[in-house]
Amino acid sequence: MKRFSLLAALLLAAGLVIPAYADPAYPTRPVQIVVPYPPGGLTDVLTRAVAERLSKTWPQPVITMNRPGANGGIATLSVAKAPADGYTLLFGTDATLATNLSLYPSVGYDPIKDFAPITTLGTYQLMLVVNKDVPARNFAEFIEYARNHQPPLNFGSVGIGSAHHLAMEMLKSLANINLVHVPYRGGAPATLAQLTGEIPVMFNGPASIKEHVEAGKLRVLAVTGKTRSPAFPDAPTIAESGYPTFNIVNWYGLLAPAGTSPEIVEKVRADVAKVMEQQEFKDWMAKQGIEPLVGGPAEFSALVASEIPRLGAVVKASGAKLE
């Protein structure tokens, strides 16, 4: 024991992370999943759905803890500094693990070095949506309409640097169209603004617009992923509509602080995988417009590493910055 204590002290002095030893009975106390956004949004709802099902499997409850702020950066930094014992996990997103690095001068954490990826959960495509003020009936007509409209059309988003914002900035660049950004504080006010005519067009998620599309108040012209969305299968991808490099989707996953034991990481991964295999959970995800993304630590790590430069280039091209 003295030898181990001496070794631990030397490693700490050297600034190295000491992996936490796995408790074979894990979890022996409540597990906390930190969500970097307020209650009620899709990230919160998905986290709670996973937590609820894990709580039925594990002998201890899984608690969802919302810590919004700095586009998810406050929560992410808090988990990076948490003990690597498996009892504090992070609901990570494309924004917190990739986009923020180019939006902010400094985020205070390293998405690669400060976390142990556990599992990917899903992706969430966005839809190019117009209201009744826009005469375009399809994607090609919209591009032509936007290109010739004076003054330039306003477009909404859920905030500066959001996927909703960056998707339109990418489309503006690729299609050579000019639109003016009007950011809102969240999906609900942005959607309401489009319904009331404040903004004619925006990228929005399927769960936010489905009832309005069915009521004929909004129209979906295209989707942002590489494949068509199950939520709106008749809407073409922007990639298949003349812009093959276009691909903007939200993605989600679970991570632990760096140094968490591989045994705990594997247990969480395996048990979450069992949740995702349940048909009722698959049906629930489909209703939310979430497409399952199955991947373990290696796949998740590769996703983060590839998205940091790709989304960084999109942010740079957009000129978006946050302090």
Beta bridge partners of 180: 154
- Classified by CATH at the fold level, domain 18-123+250-318 comes out as D-Maltodextrin-Binding Protein; domain 2 (3.40.190)
Per-residue confidence band for 23, with pLDDT thresholds at 50, 70 and 90? low
- Classified by CATH at the fold level, domain 127-241 comes out as D-Maltodextrin-Binding Protein; domain 2 (3.40.190)
Alpha carbons 57 and 122: distance in angstroms, whole number = 21
SS3 101: helix
Looking up tokens 């494949």, which residue turns up?
Answer: 227
Average pLDDT over residues 47-64: 97
Per-residue confidence band for 7, with pLDDT thresholds at 50, 70 and 90? very low
Torsion of CA 39, 45, 50, 52, to 10 degrees: 70
pLDDT, tens only, 97-132: 999 999 999 999 999 999 999 999 999 999 999 999
The two tokens of residue 43 are: 């990230």
Of 2-6, 79-83, 184-188, which range is least confident?
2-6
Q: How many helices (H) and strands (E) does the chain have?
A: 12, 11
CB atoms within 10 A of CB 44: 18
The DSSP letter of residue 289 is T
The DSSP letter of residue 72 is G
pLDDT, tens only, 210-224: 999 999 999 999 999
CB 291 within 8 Å of CB 163: no
Average pLDDT over residues 35-42: 87
Average pLDDT over residues 237-266: 97
Average pLDDT over residues 33-61: 94
Does residue 57 surpass a pLDDT of 70? yes
User: Nearest 5 degrees, angle CA 108-CA 113-CA 115?
Assistant: 85
The domain spans of the chain are 18-123+250-318, 127-241
pLDDT score at 188: 85
The two tokens of residue 151 are: 């003054």
Average pLDDT over residues 21-41: 86
**Orientation angle between helical segments 297-318 and 163-175, nearest 10 degrees:** 60
Tell me the helix, strand and coil percentages in the chain, rounded to 5.
45, 20, 35
The two tokens of residue 248 are: 């903007």
